[in-house]
A and B are shown apart, each in its own frame.
Chain A
Amino acid sequence: MKSTTTRRDFIRKLGISGAAANLVLTLPSLGGEASGQSKQRVVFVFSPNGVIPKHFWPDDEGEKFELKRILEPLAPFKDQLLTLRGIDNRIKGDGDGHMRGIGCLLTGVELFPGDVQGGSDTPAGWSMGISIDQHLSNKLQANTETQTRFGSLEFGVMVPDRADTWTRWSYAGPNQPVAPISDPYQMFKKLYGQVHNRAMLASVLDDLSEDFKKIERQVSNEDRRMLQQHVDLVRAVEKELQAELKQGDSPQSESETATASHAVPQLPPNVQEENDNMPQISRMQTDLLVNSLMSDFTRIATMQITNSVGNPRMRWLDIDEGHHTISHEPDSNEDAYEQLIKINTWYSEQVAYMAKKLKETPEPNGDGNMLDHTTIIWTNELGKGNSHTRNSIPFVMIGGGLGFKMGRSLNYDHQPHNRLLLSITEAMGHPEKTFGNPDYCGDGSLTGLS
C-alpha cells in the first residue's frame, strides 16, 4: 500500500468507488437497474435577484425560437431545452418579496409569522411546508426500487454561513429548513468520506506496523505479548483493506473501474470559500453533483448559487459591485443593465456546464447519456430584479428526466407556480392533487408540457 501515496494516487484508488464503494459501505444497491426501469433525476438550480426578461425569454413560442443573450450558453442543448414563461409565484402573506421569492419557490406555500424583517413588508419566519425536492426524495426513498443512499443532496455555491429565510430554499417540512453544503470538501467528505478514510487507513497502517517493531524493543517479554496481539490486529486490518482496494483495481471490472474512477472527481487542493473562488467552487460542486448522480447516490439534487439577495462581486467579469446592489438599478442605467445581462449569462454558463457534463457521461447501464435521464430546472427568486416581481419567474428546463416534450419555448398566461410543482411530481410518477397552498392548485398540473 505504500504506493497509495499522493492524493492523486488515492483518488485513482478510489476507482473502486462506484461499484466497490457500494460494497464497502453496504449501501442500498442500485435498485432501478434491477427493475429495468429507466432512472429519472431532477436537479433544481437557483440563481438570485431576477433576470433581464428582454434578454432572457425567447420572443417566439413553440419549436421555432431563437435564444437570447442570457440563454445563449445553452445553445448546444437547444433541442433538449424548455422555457416556461408566465409562471407566477403568487404566494402572499408574511415576508418581503425576496423572502417569499426564495422561501415559497419550491414549497408553494406561505411563510410562518416570525421576526425576520426585510424591505417594507411584514416580518416572517420559515416556510409552512415541505419543498418539492424533499417531497420527491421522500417518495423515492419510500420505494426500494428508487431508493438511494442519500435520497437528495443539497449543494450550495457561496451561500453565506447564516441560517435565515433568504439563505434557504429547501425544506424537509414546516419550519424545517435544510442547509445546503457550500464547501466542496465537506461535500466530498459526505459523499466519499468513508471510502476515503479506509483508503487512507490502508496506506498509513504499513508505516504503523514498522514503528511497532521499533517500540517492541522497549518492553519486557511479558508485555510484548500484548503489543504483538495489537500489531497482528493492525496487520489483519491492513490485509483486508488491501484486498478491498485491489478488488476495485482488478482487470475483470476494468470497464466498471473506468466509469467509476470517472465517478470520483478530483478536487483541487486548498480552495477557500472566498468570493473570487466562486467560479472554481461552482465547478467543483457541479463535478461532485454530476458524479453523485452517476453513482446513484441520489436522484434529486438542488444547487443553490448564493442566496436570495445574493451579492457576489463578479470580478472575473470585471464587475466590482455586488449583484444585488446592481439589480436595484433602473433599466435606464445602461451600465448596470449590461452588467446584469453578463451576470445572468454567467449563471447560465454554470447550468450549461452541468448539462454538458451530464451529456458527456453515458447513462450507467442504460441508453444514451445522463442528460437524457435528468432534468435540470433552473429558476430564480424573482422575475425581474428592480421591480421585485414574482410574475414570470424564470423556469428553464434542460434534459429528459421528466419526459416533457423539449426543444420548445412556452408561454403560459399567469399560471400559479404550484401547478408546475404538481407537473414535476406527476412526471416523477407521484401525482398529487395539491402541492403547497391548495388555493393555487385548483386546475391541477400544467397542460401542454408532454
Chain B
Amino acid sequence: MKRPPQQRSRHLSETQNHEQQRCFRYDSVVCCSLLVIHFSMILLDSHNATQADDTAAGSTEVSIAGEPTTEQGGGQQDKKRREHGATIYQQSCQSCHGASGQGTREAFDRPLVGDLSISGLSKLISKTMPEDDPDACVGDNAAAVAAYIHASFYSKAARVRNRPPRIALSRLTGEQLRQSIADLFGHFMKPSVTTDARGVKADYYNGTSKKTEEKRIERIDDVIDFDFGKESPGKEIDPKSYLIHWQGSLKVNRTGRYEIVLRSTCSCMMDFGSDRRELFNNHVQSEGREEFRRSLHLTAGRAYPFEISLYQRKRKTEQPPAKISLSWVPPGGTQEVIPKRHLIPERLAGTFPLQAKLPPDDRSYGYERGTSVSRQWDQSTTESAIEFAEIAIDELYPSFRRNNRKVSDENRNQLRSFLNEIVEVAFRGKLADSTRKLYVDQQIDLSEDDGEAIRRVLLLTLKSPRFLYPTLDSDRSRSQRAANRLALVLFDSLPSDAWLVNAANKNQLQTDKQLTNAAKRMVDNYRTQAKTLAFLHEWLDLKTTEEIAKDKDKFPEFDADLVQDLRQSMDCFLEDLLESESSDFRQLLQADWSYTTKRLENYYGSAWSYADPEKGETELAPSRQDSNIHVGVLTHPLLMSNLSYHRNTSPIHRGVFLTLRTLGRVLRPPNASFTPLSPDLHPELTTRERVQLQTGEVNCQACHQQINSLGFALEQFDATGRFRSTERKKNIDTTGSYRERSGTEVNFDGARELADYLAESKDCHLAFVESAFEHFVKQPIAAFGSETAEKLTQSFRDSGFNIRELLVTIAVTASRQPLPDAKKP
C-alpha cells in the first residue's frame, strides 16, 4: 500500500518548484498533500484492520446539542435517524462514494474513512456535500447521514467491527532472520552479558612478546587513536620494541553496513567476531601499507569481540614512527574514530553477523511484517542458510567437538548430536522422531563428508517453515510457545539463551508472574535495547536521516559531519533515557538538555555548550540546560531538519508528524496534490503566513486546521533546527492549538508549552503505546482484544510512564495469547 517511489517522482516531475528539484528526498515530502497521502494511507490501513480506540463499539462520542451520545446502541430514535441517513446516503451519496463508502473509480476513489466525530462529520456534510449542491443536505439530514456512515463504515470502531483484526501468520522478517541466525550461533557460545563499562582493555608490554613479567601497563583506553611517534608509549617501555594488545567488543546499535578502518604504521593484527575470524593481517609491516578497510553488514543489539595487537619491532634499519587508529564508517555516516560508547573493554562471546542481502519487508502498516513471500526472499533464505552452514562448519562444529571430546563418535554420534541441537534451537523445541529422522538422520546418511552433512541439514532446516514461521507452534507446550513469543517480541529472534530454553523445557513460563520475570530479565539485554532504539527511530520518523542535507548557500556549515554529530547526540540521548532507572517517556518530550559536541555548539549556539566546561570535553557530553531551546527530542535539530525543506521550515510536515505519529490521529488524504507556494513569490510573508494562505480554503481546513496549528508551535526552529525568534524581520508567532479526541480544545504557545501538553496528553500516550506494541509484536494491537490498547496505556501511566516496563507488559501480553484458530478443521 506504500506509494511506490516512481509514482512519487512522477508527481514531482510535474511540479515546477525549484527547491523540490534540487533534492529528491525533500521533494518526496515537499507537498503536504503527498505526505498526507503517504502517511495517512499507512494509518488508514492499519486502522482498517485493527484499531479500536475511543470510539470502540458502544463507547461515548462527542455530543452536540440534541444529538444522541452513542452511535451503535442508543434508542429507537437513533436507529430511526440512522435509517433515515441510510436512505439519503443511498440516494445522494452512494453514486460517488460506493455502497459502503469504499469509493468509486469515476468520482471519489478513496474510502470514506476517518476520525471525525459525528458532529464534525455532520458539519462537514452540511457545508460541502453533495459537491454539486452543498445546500441539498444540511441540518438534520446531514446529521442523519453522518450518524449512518459513522456507524457503518467511517469510524475506526465500525471498521474494526466490519473486519475484525486477527493475528496473521507471519514469516520471519529480514531483521528477525538476521537476529535468529545470530542467536543460533550464539547458542553455542558463552551466554551473553551486558556491562556498563566502556572503552578497550589495553596491555602494554616492553618487548614484542606477551610475557607477564614484561607487562608494564594494564588499563582501559577510551578509544584507539594514538600517535606515539618515536617515543615510548609508557614508563619502562623500550620505545624501539614493544607490543600493545587491545581487547574489547564493538557494540552495534543499528543493523546495517559498516566499514571498519584500521590504520597503523606498525605491524598489527586484528580479529573480529571470533578469535578464528581474522579481519586484518598486517603481520608484516611494509612501508606504505598503512590502511586496512573492510565493509561488513553488522546486526544490531550485538557486541562483536575483537582483538588488536600492535608490534613495534626493533630492527637494524630505520623504524617508522608508531601510529594507530581504529575507525569506522557507520551506515550512512562519515568516518570517525570508533567512539567510546560503542566499545566494551572485554572480549565477549563470539558473534556471527549474517552478510547475505535480504530484501526489505513490507512496512505499509507502519511496522515491518513478514506476510508475503517472493522469489527474491526465497533466494535470500537459501543464501543465508549456506552462509550460516559455512560458519557452522568452520567454527561451531570444531568447537562442539572439542567440548565433547569424551563422547563416543561411533556412528558419527558427535555430528548427529551437534546437528540435532542446532535443529532443536532453530525449530524452537525438541524434535519429534519423524522430524529428527527427516532433518538430521536422513541427511547425515546421504553425506559421507561431515561438512556436506552440515550443509545439507542447515539448508533444509533454515528453509523449513518450522524455522521461518516462528508462531507455527500450536503443537508445542504452553511455556515453549510463550518463550517463542518473548524472544520474538523482545529480541526479534528465537529462544536460544540457556535459561530461557530451560524454562521452556521445564514448562515454567505459564503464569503472568513467570512471564513477567522472564521479560524483565530480557528487557535489559542489548538486543531489546537495540530494538527499542529502532522503534524510537521509527516513532520519530528518523529512519532516513542519512539523507538530510540543506542548501549549501544558506547553511554552509550544515554538513555531513554535523549531521553525524546530531545523530549521535540523538542516539545517545535516547539510549541514556532507555537505560535510566525511570526510563520516563515524558523526558522524551520535556528534557531541557541534550547531548552535544564542540561542533554542535559552534553551530547551534551557547545553549549547546557543554554542561560542565571544566571537564574539557571533546566528545559527546550533556549540554547546558535551557528549557526553551532543548525541548526533549521535539526540538532536536535532527528531527527539526528532517521535517523541513531544503531552505525553509515546513510547519505542515511538522504538524503532520505531530498529528499522525505523536498524537495517533487519522488524516484524510488531501483533495489533490499541491506544490507549496514559493517563498520567492511572497517575499513579504512569513512561513506561517504563506502556509495559511495556501491552506486557507474550507476544504483544506478540515485537516489543516489541525496540522498547521500543531506545526506552527515549532516555528522558532529553522530548517536546520537552529533557534530563531524572527523571520523576515517579523516576530515569529508560535501560538497553536489542538482539538483532542475527547473534543476538548487545547491552546499553547511555542515548543515548550506544546511538549508539556503532549507529555500529559492521553492521545499522545495511547499513540505511543500502540506504536510500541505494533513495532514489537508486529501484529495489530486490536487482534489482542479491543481493550488491550486502553489497558496497556493505563498501566503505562500507572508505572510513571516507564518505557522498559511498558515493553515488559507488551511482551507478556503478546506471549500469553494462544495461537488463534489453531487446529481448526
Contact = CB atoms under 8 A, between A and B. Distances in A.
Interface in A85-119: 94, 111-117
Contacts of A208: 460, 463-464
A165 B169 contact: no
Interface in A180-212: 185, 197, 200-201, 203-205, 207-208, 210-212
A94 B318 CA distance: 12
A221 interface: yes
Interface string A207-224: 110111001001111110
B317 A123 contact: yes
Given A5-B446, A7-B449, A220-B821, A204 B284 contact: no
Interface string A158-181: 000011110000000011000000
Given A112-B288, A226-B371, A269 B448 contact: yes
Contact of A229 (B168, B373, B443, B820): B373
B176 to A, nearest CB: 16
Given A115-B313, A218-B474, A270 B449 contact: yes
Nearest to A267: B449
A160 to B, nearest CB: 12
Interface string B366-389: 000001111100100010001000
B87 interface: no
Interface in A273-287: none
A373 B169 CA distance: 60
B281 interface: yes
Contacts of B316: 122-123
A6 B472 contact: no
A219 B822 contact: yes
Contacts of B729: none
Contacts of B465: 211-212, 215, 227, 230
B460 A223 contact: no
A125 interface: yes
A404 interface: no
Given A208-B464, A211-B464, A220-B821, A112 B449 contact: no
Interface string B271-312: 000000000010111111100000000000000000000010
Contacts of A226: 168-169, 171, 371-373
A7 B448 contact: yes
Nearest to A165: B284
Contacts of B267: 115
Contacts of A142: none
Contact of B283 (A5, A111, A163, A221): A163
B378 A234 contact: yes
B1 to A, nearest CB: 17
Given A115-B315, A212-B465, A218-B822, A197 B386 contact: yes
A83 B266 CA distance: 42
Interface stretch (B109-117, B242-250, B418-426, B451-459): B451-459
A347 interface: no
A233 B266 CA distance: 53
A194 B801 CA distance: 53
B690 interface: no
A8 to B, nearest CB: 8
Q: Looking at B283, B375, B475, which has the most chain A CB atoms within 10 Å of its CB? A: B283
B373 A218 contact: no
B823 interface: yes
B372 to A, nearest CB: 8
A243 interface: no
Nearest to B318: A113
A424 to B, nearest CB: 26
A126 interface: yes
Contacts of A174: 288
A111 B288 CA distance: 12
Nearest to A114: B286
Given A208-B460, A226-B169, A270-B449, A175 B317 contact: no
Nearest to A212: B465
Contacts of B166: 222
A438 B122 CA distance: 92
A204 B456 contact: yes
A237 interface: yes
Contact of B447 (A7, A122, A201): A7
B702 to A, nearest CB: 36
B382 A201 contact: yes
B689 interface: no
Q: Looking at B386, B435, B475, which has the most chain A CB atoms within 10 Å of its CB? A: B386
Contacts of B464: 208, 211
A360 B311 CA distance: 51
Interface in B788-825: 820-824
Nearest to A5: B446
B472 A218 contact: yes
B131 interface: no
Given A175-B288, A201-B382, A117 B313 contact: yes
Contacts of A5: 446
B438 interface: yes
Contact of A116 (B281, B284, B438): B284
B285 to A, nearest CB: 4
A270 B311 CA distance: 37
B520 interface: no
A227 to B, nearest CB: 6
A422 B466 CA distance: 61
Contacts of B373: 226, 229-230, 233
Given A197-B386, A212-B465, A215-B466, A204 B822 contact: no
B432 to A, nearest CB: 10
Contacts of B443: 204
A222 B820 CA distance: 11
B626 interface: no
A162 B283 contact: yes
Interface in B442-494: 442-443, 446-452, 455-456, 459-460, 463-466, 469, 472, 474-475
Nearest to B447: A7
B135 to A, nearest CB: 47
Contact of A125 (B284, B311, B451, B824): B284
Contact of A201 (B286, B435, B459): B459
A237 B381 CA distance: 13
B313 to A, nearest CB: 4
Given A211-B464, A220-B821, A223-B821, A126 B378 contact: no
Given A226-B169, A227-B465, A125 B286 contact: yes
Given A94-B317, A113-B318, A200 B455 contact: yes
Contacts of B435: 211
Contact of A204 (B319, B451, B460): B460
B286 A219 contact: no
Q: Looking at B168, B442, B460, B821, which has the most chain A CB atoms within 10 Å of its CB? A: B460
A114 B448 contact: no
Interface string A1-27: 000011100000000000000000000
A122 B288 CA distance: 18
A201 B450 CA distance: 17
A6 B378 contact: no
Contacts of B287: 112-114, 125
A223 B266 contact: no
Contact of A163 (B284, B448, B455, B463): B284
Query: Which 7 pairs show the lowest CB-CB distances between chains A and B?
Result: A125-B286, A220-B821, A223-B169, A269-B449, A115-B285, A114-B286, A115-B313
Given A123-B313, A207-B438, 6 more contacts: A123-B317, A211-B466, A218-B822, A226-B169, A233-B375, A270-B450
19 contacts: A6-B448, A7-B448, A112-B288, A117-B313, A122-B315, A203-B446, A207-B438, A208-B464, A211-B438, A212-B465, A218-B823, A219-B472, A219-B822, A227-B465, A230-B373, A230-B378, A233-B374, A269-B450, A270-B450
Interface of B: 166, 168-169, 171, 266-267, 281, 283-289, 311, 313, 315-319, 371-375, 378, 382, 386, 435, 438, 442-443, 446-452, 455-456, 459-460, 463-466, 469, 472, 474-475, 820-824
